[in-house]
Amino acid sequence: MKAVRLHEYGQHPVVEEVAEPRITSPYDVIVRIGGAGLCRTDLHIMEGHFRAQSGITLPYILGHENAGRVSAVGSAVDIVAVGDTVIVHPQISCGFCRSCRAGNDMHCIQAAFPGMDTDGGMAELLKTSARAVVRLNPTLAPEDVAALADAGITAYHAVKKAIPQLYPGTRAVVIGAGGLGHIGIQCLKALTPAEIIVVDRSPEALALCKSWGAHHTVLADGQQIATVKEMTNGRGAEVILDFVGENSSVTDGIAMLQRAGTYYMIGYGGQLLVPTGLLISTEISFVGNLVGSYNELVELMTLTEQGKVTLHTTFYPLDAASDAIHDLETGKLRGRGILIP
Ligand SMILES: [Zn+2]
Ligand SMILES: [Zn+2]
């Protein structure tokens, strides 16, 4: 089968022929990929950011945002059948450890993460497990929802945590209206009554935000902190959702956060440097967000079926993976890039 494999850090991956995955354990599920999302994490993987952590030897297949049609199942699988359309939770979890039993799939002690530490879904076929597959409502096409498997669930997970802080009359600032941010805006709109303020450097990205549910948009032109302060009675917002997490987004975000407010970090790549005195004197909190649980993916699929969350996507054939990566690297990609085998 054809697959997008990373051979060397610092280089683009290569589209090439590789052996097809096979069922080797009773709970294996093999999915014929309908769409595989391209993610900023893939750029971080290519840069070698996770080299030590993932422990993987190159080459391997990228792709952790996958959806498609079940093509084979192990002998113990009855949650899905061959032919079902599914979206794939990015983590293969064991089901037996305390984290799994608590529903914290992402903190499973025996997990595998296809596309990060094992072969992923930028290919014709992907091997995952029964615990990771969510059967799709027939109204949803795999290629239209693939990026919700990681980008979507991550945005949803952070917004769901912020619900108690976002009661009527509160404000949420969304930093970054890209692939994750545009889903975060829709989740905020669907799950909370908060006033939504979106900050981005791109006027084109901001132009789309109102249709996703944003109440205000702020161009990051150097005046963004002052503008957000003005919109929030000089106090700042109760919640910041930072979908960028690098460059000046973090210092900006902290300056836009109200006393006792909560900062949700979703994007990453930069540094969080906060004077401990500021933390104490203002009682601000910082919360990390790692993907989301299986149940949260099911909930997000419900919002999608209801038309409350839609993905803004650009499709590329699998063969054009390098073009898609180039477009993401150079900021030309709007919404989410999806590779179609
Ligand atoms: Zn991702
Ligand atoms: Zn586990």
- Give the distance (Å) from ligand 2 centre to CA of residue 113: 12
- Give the distance (Å) from ligand 1 centre to CA of residue 229: 31
CA pair distance 128, 113, nearest whole angstrom = 9
- Give the distance (Å) from ligand 1 centre to CA of residue 153: 10
Q: Give the ligand whose atoms come closest to the C-alpha of residue 65.
A: 1
- Give the distance (Å) from ligand 2 centre to CA of residue 99: 6
What backbone phi and psi angles, to 5 degrees, belong to 100? Answer: -60, -45
Give pLDDT tens digits for 304-323. Answer: 999 999 998 999 999 999 99
- Give the distance (Å) from ligand 2 centre to CA of residue 103: 9
Cα atoms found within 13 Å of the Cα of residue 63, Cβ hemisphere only: 36
Give pLDDT tens digits for 225-281. Answer: 999 999 999 999 999 999 999 889 999 999 999 999 999 999 988 999 999 999 999
Closest CA to 158 of 126, 122, 108, 192: 192
- Give the distance (Å) from ligand 1 centre to CA of residue 216: 27
Which residues are near ligand 1, the ion (C-beta closer than 5 Å)? 39, 41, 150
- Give yes or no for residue 334 having a pLDDT over 80: no
- Give the distance (Å) from ligand 2 centre to CA of residue 295: 15
Q: Give the ligand whose atoms come closest to the C-alpha of residue 62.
A: 1
- Give the distance (Å) from ligand 1 centre to CA of residue 278: 32
Q: Give the ligand whose atoms come closest to the C-alpha of residue 96.
A: 2
- Give the distance (Å) from ligand 2 centre to CA of residue 249: 34
Q: Give the ligand whose atoms come closest to the C-alpha of residue 132.
A: 2
Give pLDDT tens digits for 61-96. Answer: 999 999 999 999 999 999 999 999 999 999 999 999
